[in-house]
């Protein structure tokens, strides 16, 4: 942004201010400033100066005030860096934020033989916040593993379909074996996580493609529109026959129970009449 400033202007805010002068170089002022004032007797000293706010924290109530003196033309550029939230800090290259159920499904299927750890967390969960730095350290120590982060608050419907109701919660997947373990742990029980990492993190070669989510989970996600129905598994001919047999068996059992109940009622009526 550009301003027409007057000599002796003042700047107030709560960020780091760097003043650059084309003729004299630049100088830096402390990173936490309540009010900063510049007073110059020579208006030409302000020509071409730039104010750059480089702190990550947002500047609150920034104001630039100038006294009633001769006008001086200057440029002030203000840039606001976004402060990282706790679940965004210390992330490693193998830590990926999941933005949809379909992305979760695809990530698991495309992982091959690599160990995949799905980390369910919530921004408002104190246990998740306390555990986050250690999970980041373990991700750094295990670069071959994939850590998929799922924000519970953003994806409640998906978490319900996957039967995730407690946080922090973790699920481990490995190649054709699919899900190999799942559990909840905290900072105090981090050994549970480390043991699972040591057990399932060893190199191996699967005999088939990565399995990913269970069929029941895929069907549940498809039924609520979280993933495409084409992604959900279709029953094989064998499974269709089994379903028909089960349906017929259920019908036969129901008919037998009804007939048996009818006979019992008739026998009871006959005994009453006698």
Question: Among the options 125, 136, 159, 185, which is catalytic?
Answer: 125
Nearest to 166 by CA among 127, 197, 196, 213: 127
Per the annotation, the verdict on 125 as an active-site residue is yes
146-151 vs 95-97, strand pairing mode: parallel
Rounded CA-CA distance 222/230 in Å is 9
CA distances from 118 to 159, 251, 254 (A): 11, 42, 43
Q: Do residues 174 and 167 make contact, with C-beta atoms less than 8 angstroms apart?
A: no
How far is it, in rounded angstroms, from Cα 251 to Cα 253?
5
In the set 4, 128, 159, 185, the catalytic residue is: 128
CA 235 to each of CA 105, 113, 166, 222, 238: distance values in angstroms, whole numbers, following the listed order: 19, 26, 32, 14, 8
Q: What is the CB neighbour count within 10 angstroms for residue 182?
A: 16
Other beta carbons less than 10 A from residue 271's beta carbon: 8
Query: If residue 4 lies in a helix (H) or strand (E), which one and from where to where?
Result: strand 2-6
Does residue 128 carry a catalytic annotation? Answer: yes
SS3 105: helix
Question: If DSSP codes are grouped into helix, strand and coil, which group holds residue 87?
Answer: helix
Residue 31's Cβ-side half-sphere holds a number of Cα atoms within 13 Å equal to 5
Q: Which residues form the catalytic set?
A: 125, 128
């Amino acid at each position: 942004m550009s301003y027409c400033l007057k000599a002796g202007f003042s700047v107030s805010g709560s960020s780091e201010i760097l003043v650059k002068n084309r003729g004299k170089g630049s100088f830096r002022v402390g990173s936490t400033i309540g009010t900063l004032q510049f007073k110059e007797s020579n208006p030409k000293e302000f020509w071409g100066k730039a104010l750059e706010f480089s702190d990550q924290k947002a500047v609150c109530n920034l104001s630039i005030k100038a006294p009633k003196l001769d006008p001086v033309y200057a440029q002030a550029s203000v840039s606001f860096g976004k402060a990282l939230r706790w679940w965004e800090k210390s992330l490693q290259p193998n830590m990926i934020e999941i933005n949809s159920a379909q992305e979760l499904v695809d990530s698991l299927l495309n992982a091959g033989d690599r160990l995949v750890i799905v980390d369910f967390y919530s921004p408002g969960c104190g246990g998740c916040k306390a555990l986050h730095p250690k999970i980041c350290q373990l991700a750094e120590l295990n670069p071959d593993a994939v850590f998929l982060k799922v924000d519970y608050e953003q994806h409640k419907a998906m978490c319900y379909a996957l039967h995730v109701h407690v946080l922090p919660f973790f699920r481990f997947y490995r190649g054709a074996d699919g899900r190999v373990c799942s559990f909840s742990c905290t900072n105090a029980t981090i050994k549970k996580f480390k043991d699972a990492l040591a057990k399932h993190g060893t190199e191996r070669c699967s005999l088939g493609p990565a399995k990913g989510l269970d069929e029941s989970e895929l069907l549940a996600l498809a039924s609520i529109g979280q993933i495409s129905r084409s992604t959900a598994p279709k029953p094989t001919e064998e499974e269709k026959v089994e379903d028909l047999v089960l349906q017929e068996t259920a019908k036969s059992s129901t008919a037998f129970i009804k007939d048996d109940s009818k006979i019992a009622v008739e026998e009871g009526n006959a005994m009453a009449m006698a």
